[in-house]
Amino acid sequence: MVVWYRVVSFLQIKEGLLAERSRLKVGDPTEFDCFTSAVIDDKAFKRITSYIEHANSSKNLTVVGGGKYDNR
């Protein structure tokens, strides 16, 4: 029996993820085609930024895209 398989590298996955991310629309939450919008309150902002800070400071994790934030 012969089994064919394709080995997918992390770089291929990363490129695909970044390509998909670039197509996501960020904006007005009342627009149906928006994927995401602003964070709704300070509690949510702190929770989300803690995830980003954890990933940025971890030696075991790699941030593939983004990894930044602001509170404007």
* pLDDT (tens digit per residue) in 10-57: 888 889 989 998 998 888 888 888 888 888 899 999 999 999 999 999
Q: How far apart are CA 5 and CA 41, in angstroms?
A: 47
Specify the pTM.
Answer: 0.65
The residue with greater pLDDT, 71 or 48, is 48
- Residue 11 confidence (pLDDT): 84
Residue 46, SS3?
Answer: helix
Query: Greater confidence, 71 or 58?
Result: 58
Rounded Cα distance, 67 and 59, in Å: 14
Residue of 6, 25, 26, 22 whose CA lies nearest to 14: 22
User: Among 56, 64, 63, 51, which residue's Cα sits nearest to residue 13?
Assistant: 64
